[in-house]
């Protein structure tokens, strides 16, 4: 069997899984899986760029995804009336002051002579800068958060179309990745892992607590959509007519149609990104990346700047994750910082890449769809399994209740088992690197 | 008088909690650093190993409580601790046999081990959620305080009170005992010395007839004990919640790296560095400042540098600074 045949079989199987969900469950949930599968595939492409091409171990995907989500709010929500006047300039000024403090501290560290003077100087700059920053920042934040706190209480966004937020999300993620890469790349691989794990937690903490930015845990809902609203479609005579002609009732048809529009948009992004990374993989640049991955010392001896190339690929991969994050928040229609969980957003993507086949873009896409399907379906499957096992027990028996309740936690267990099995028996994944 | 009050307030809100938290982090970081030294990878499953050991301990605690076995003024969990350690040891030895051994035989790259440990983390996390659920569990019983605020005030006549919780006292005492035992074991016993030899130079150790599988097994046993003790102490002091244990990974890793990965002494120093920075930076200093500064200078705000939600940021920033300035950690650990 040729590689192409096998790939077609794999993707056909995944298509069958999704179609089967549509036939046996509902088309809405099948399209739901498809949409999130597309997004997951994009995330997996980003991680594959870092891990498969360059061997960089990033466990902060959640943070980059969340930054993409933040971008949707900052770009697409209308600016809050009065908030900018109340404290917007103050916040901006404070942020500039904070950045200036850090720059001054770095300059002081570089310029002052080594010794006590340098330590004292740097600390003095930081402490004074911090208090100046807080004295400007705090009142401004208070003023912004006081503006209509029940509904707004944040600066709002730029009021631009939400599609612009997708590349902006990529830029945000790229910026964060550059900062992390600059510090942690070039050290041992474990350090990058810890550093990314940390930055992801911090990004989430900032998004949860800085209410002026995107309302924190109060969430921003009602993001503008690139697709029409279901209710508008249902009131549109032309749409209702064509739906009934096709034999759908208008309500179902409208929900399906909206999901299909999203699926189309996501598919375009996925195809574009896929072509780009595929071209990159087979270009001299991609060959250089893999050469660096396989033997850093030899690549360095050939005159390749390993750290700079690592930084480059790390930023690019994170940017793709940021784009995916922006798309996901767009699909959700709301930004809920409380729902970002590392197990779901970081480690699940890792399972996708490893299972699909690290180093192979097609594999990453396959892994994205397959594992996402599994992640969604494990819960109902686990529940029916539990029902089967406990069918002999009397209702209300404590073990039965406990087992039924814990079926929801089957997901993590299954993902762990899948990951370990693939790593053990097929370490190169379903579609191995050529 | 004001000065004494300030000191008491400082001890009550900063020193005592930070010492207890630091001991817990140090025990956790010791486990991470031992695995790093002997097995040569960063174990991402460590937080969930802690959670598993703690969960077993909690189950035994409940069983003992139902049988009305108690340790008097001390928490029942201390009686259940050996069983928790045993349960955790069984699990990690099983994972080592079933999972890690294969990759050791293959001499896989460290990063593969790290990814494998991610899988183990998923499974352990799932197991814990499966058995005990995701909710908060409080299992501390017995006497609540060694010194309560009221008795302290009556004893000294100061305005400020000092409370030392039993759990905090137990944490520090246990940590000291465990660390003393560990260092005695590593420095004085034959097995401990062979472990250090293996960690320093694997080939040389193998040549001198050290059995690597035995070293690995002993390491896992010690790590299980350290992880369970750290987890139970943290759970007694605060509360047990699986997700929080997963999140503890960050400060624990930060502590191990700040101290120098692979260096046990460094892990302890790192644990306290992280704990003290976290607590001092997120503490509202107003109470102390009120006693120390003249009335005209009294601060109006809380004088809190960062809100407590950012405590992860603190360990992270310290980690970054250490990585930038001294990548091998405070006590020179393994290679860069």
Query: Do A254 and A388 fall into the same domain?
Result: yes
> For B154-207, what is each residue's pLDDT tens digit?
888 888 888 888 899 999 999 999 999 999 999 999 999 999 889 888 889 889
Are A285 and A380 found together in one domain?
yes
Amino acid B156: pLDDT: 82
Asked if A313 and A239 sit in the same domain, the reply is: yes
Co-location of A217 and A72 in the same domain: yes
Q: Which residues are CB-neighbours of A108 under 8 A, at least 6 positions away?
A: A118, A121, A122, A125
Q: Could you give the count of Cα atoms lying within 13 Å of B72 in the half-sphere of its Cβ?
A: 0
B110 close to A (CB below 8 A): yes
State whether A124 and A171 are in the same domain: no
Whether residue A398 lies inside any domain: the answer is: yes
Q: Is residue A430 part of a domain?
A: no
Tell me which residues of chain B have a pLDDT lower than 70. 298, 300-301, 332-336
| Domain assignment present for A33 | yes
Within a domain: A364: yes
Same domain, A12 and A127: no
Domain check: are A74 and A89 in the same one?
no
Could you tell me if residue B92 is inside a domain?
A: yes
How many angstroms away from the CA of A40 is the closest CA of chain B?
A: 19
A175 and A240 both lie in a single domain:
yes
**Domain finish residue from A155, A188, A208:** A155
- Residue B309 in any domain: the answer is no
Rounded-to-integer distance, Cα B123 and Cα A423, Å: 14
pLDDT digits (tens, 9 = 90+) for A129-181: 888 888 888 888 888 888 888 888 888 888 899 999 999 999 999 999 998 88
Whether chain B has a CB inside 8 Å of the CB on A424: the answer is yes
Which of B35, B102, B108, B122 is the best substitution to test chain A (most A C-beta atoms within 10 A)? B122
In chain A, whose CA is at the least distance from the CA of B117?
A: A420
In the prediction, which pLDDT does A231 show?
Answer: 86
Among A191, A351, A409, select the one facing B323 at the smallest CB separation.
A191
Residues of chain B with C-beta less than 8 angstroms from the C-beta of A202: 310, 312-313, 316
Q: What is the pLDDT of residue B336?
A: 36
| Count of the separate structural domains present in chain B | 1
Mutate: best of B48, B110, B118, B328, partner A, most A CBs <10 A: B118
Would an 8 Å CB–CB cutoff place A338 in contact with chain B? no
Task: Note whether residue A432 is domain-resident.
Answer: no
CB contact under 8 A, A413 and B127: yes
- Judged by a CB distance cut-off of 8 A, whether residue A128 touches chain B is no
Distance from CA of A218 to the nearest CA of B (A): 15
Q: Do A62 and A28 fall into the same domain?
A: yes
Per-position DSSP letters for A275-325, written without gaps between them: HHHHHHHTSHHHHHHHHHHH-HHHHHHTT--HHHHHHHHHHHHHHHHHHHH
B313 to A205: CB separation less than 8 angstroms, yes or no: yes
d(CA A118, CA A123): 8
Using a CB–CB cutoff of 8 Å, tell me whether A371 touches chain B. Answer: no
Look at B319 and A202 and tell me if their CB atoms are within 8 Å: no
Closest Cα in chain B, distance from residue A253 (Å): 38
Q: Name residues 260-279 of chain B within 8 A of A (Cβ).
A: 261
Tell me: do A255 and A330 sit in the same domain.
yes
Q: Write down which residue in A91, A126, A155 finishes a domain.
A: A155
Q: How many domains does chain A have?
A: 2
Positions of chain A with pLDDT under 70: 1
Report the DSSP pairing between strands A220-221 and B145-147: unpaired
Domain span at residue A138?
80-155
Structure tokens at A380: 């109902």
Domain contains B222: yes
ipTM summary value = 0.88
**Is residue B220 one of the residues assigned to a domain?**
yes
d(CA A326, CA A346): 16
Q: Which domain holds residue B120?
A: 20-246
Of A155, A187, A203, which closes a domain? A155
Q: Flag whether B251 is in a domain.
A: no
The CATH number that applies at residue A297 is 1.10.3470
Give yes or no for A192 touching B (CB within 8 A). Answer: no
| Together in a domain, A310 and A202 | yes
Q: Do B122 and A138 touch (CB under 8 A)?
A: no
Q: Looking at residue B10, what is its pLDDT? A: 86
Q: Is residue A431 part of a domain?
A: no
- pLDDT recorded at residue B333: 60
Residue with token string 């005030």: B153
Whether residue A257 lies inside any domain: the answer is: yes
Q: Do A347 and B122 touch (CB under 8 A)?
A: yes
Which residue among A205, A405, A411 places its CB closest to the CB of B312? A205
> Is residue B112 included in any domain, yes or no?
yes
Tell whether B270 is covered by a domain.
no
Phi, psi of A334 (to 5 degrees): -155, 155
Q: What's the pTM value of the predicted model, to 2 decimals?
A: 0.89
Other beta carbons within 10 angstroms of residue A429's beta carbon come to 24
Instruction: For residues A8 and A134, state if they share a domain.
Output: no
Cβ–Cβ < 8 Å for B126, A412: yes
């Amino acid at each position: 069997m040729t590689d192409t045949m096998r790939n077609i079989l794999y993707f056909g199987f995944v298509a069958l899984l999704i179609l089967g969900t549509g036939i046996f469950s509902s088309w809405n949930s099948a399209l739901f899986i498809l949409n999130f599968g597309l997004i997951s595939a994009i995330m997996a492409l980003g991680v594959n760029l870092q891990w498969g091409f360059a061997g960089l171990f990033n466990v902060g995907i959640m943070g980059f995804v969340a930054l993409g989500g933040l971008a949707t709010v900052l770009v697409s929500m209308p600016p809050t009336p009065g908030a900018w006047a109340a404290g917007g300039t103050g916040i901006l000024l404070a942020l500039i002051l904070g950045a200036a403090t850090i720059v001054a501290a770095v300059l002081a560290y570089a310029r002052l002579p080594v010794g006590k003077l340098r330590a004292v100087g740097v600390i003095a700059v930081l402490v004074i800068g911090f208090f100046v920053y807080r004295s400007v920042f705090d009142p401004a934040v208070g003023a912004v958060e006081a503006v209509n706190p029940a509904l707004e209480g944040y600066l709002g966004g730029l009021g631009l179309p939400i599609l612009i937020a997708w590349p902006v999300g990529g830029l945000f993620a790229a910026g964060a990745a550059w900062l992390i890469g600059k510090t942690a790349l070039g050290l041992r691989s474990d350090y990058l892992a810890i550093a990314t794990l940390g930055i992801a937690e911090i990004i989430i903490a900032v998004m949860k607590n800085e209410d002026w930015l995107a309302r924190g845990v109060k969430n921003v809902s009602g993001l503008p959509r690139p697709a029409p609203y279901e209710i508008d479609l249902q009131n549109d005579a032309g749409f209702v007519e064509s739906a009934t002609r096709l034999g759908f009732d208008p309500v179902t048809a409208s929900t399906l149609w909206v999901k299909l529009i999203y699926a189309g948009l996501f598919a375009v992004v996925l195809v574009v990104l896929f072509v780009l990374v595929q071209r990159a993989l087979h270009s001299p640049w991609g060959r250089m990346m893999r050469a660096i991955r396989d033997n850093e010392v030899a690549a360095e001896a050939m005159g390749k700047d390993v750290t700079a190339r690592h930084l480059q690929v790390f930023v690019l991969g994170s940017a793709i994750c940021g784009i995916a994050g922006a798309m996901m928040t767009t699909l959700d229609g709301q930004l809920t910082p409380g729902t970002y969980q590392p197990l779901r957003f970081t480690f699940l993507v890792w399972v996708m890449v490893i299972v699909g086949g690290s180093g192979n873009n097609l594999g990453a896409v396959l892994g994205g769809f397959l594992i996402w399907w599994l992640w969604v379906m494990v819960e109902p499957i686990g529940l029916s399994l539990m029902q089967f096992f406990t069918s002999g027990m009397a209702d209300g028996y404590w073990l039965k209740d406990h087992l039924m309740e814990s079926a929801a936690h089957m997901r993590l267990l299954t993902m762990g088992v899948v990951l370990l099995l693939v790593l053990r028996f097929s370490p190169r994944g379903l579609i191995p690197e050529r | 008088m004001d000065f004494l009050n300030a000191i008491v307030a400082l001890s009550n809100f900063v020193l005592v909690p930070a010492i207890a938290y630091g001991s817990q982090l140090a025990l956790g970081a010791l486990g991470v650093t031992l695995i790093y030294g002997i097995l040569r990878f960063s174990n991402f499953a460590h937080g969930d190993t802690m959670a598993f050991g703690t969960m077993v301990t909690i189950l035994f605690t409940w069983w003992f409580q139902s049988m009305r076995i108690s340790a008097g003024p001390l928490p029942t969990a201390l009686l259940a601790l050996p069983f928790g350690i045993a349960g955790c040891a069984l699990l990690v030895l099983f994972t080592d046999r079933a999972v890690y051994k294969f990759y050791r035989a293959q001499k896989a790259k460290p990063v593969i081990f790290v990814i494998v440990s991610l899988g183990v983390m998923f499974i352990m996390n799932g197991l814990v959620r499966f058995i005990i659920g995701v909710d908060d569990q409080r299992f501390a019983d017995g006497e609540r305080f060694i010194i309560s605020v009221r008795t302290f005030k009556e004893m000294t006549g100061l305005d400020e009170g000092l409370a030392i919780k039993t759990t905090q006292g137990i944490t520090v005492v246990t940590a000291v005992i465990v660390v003393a035992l560990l260092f005695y074991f590593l420095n004085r016993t034959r097995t401990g010395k062979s472990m250090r030899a293996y960690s320093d130079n694997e080939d040389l150790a193998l040549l001198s007839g050290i059995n690597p599988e035995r070293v690995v097994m002993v390491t896992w046993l010690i790590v299980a004990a350290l992880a369970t003790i750290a987890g139970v102490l943290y759970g007694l002091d605060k509360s047990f919640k699986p997700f929080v244990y997963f999140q503890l990974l960050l400060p624990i890793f930060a502590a191990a790296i700040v101290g120098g990965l692979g260096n046990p002494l460094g892990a302890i120093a790192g644990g306290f560095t992280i704990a003290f920075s976290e607590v001092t930076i997120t503490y509202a200093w107003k109470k102390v400042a009120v006693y120390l500064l003249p009335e005209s200078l009294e601060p109006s705000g809380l004088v809190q540098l960062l809100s407590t939600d950012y405590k992860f940021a603190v360990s992270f920033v310290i980690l970054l600074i250490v990585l930038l300035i001294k990548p091998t950690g405070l006590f020179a650990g393994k290679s860069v």
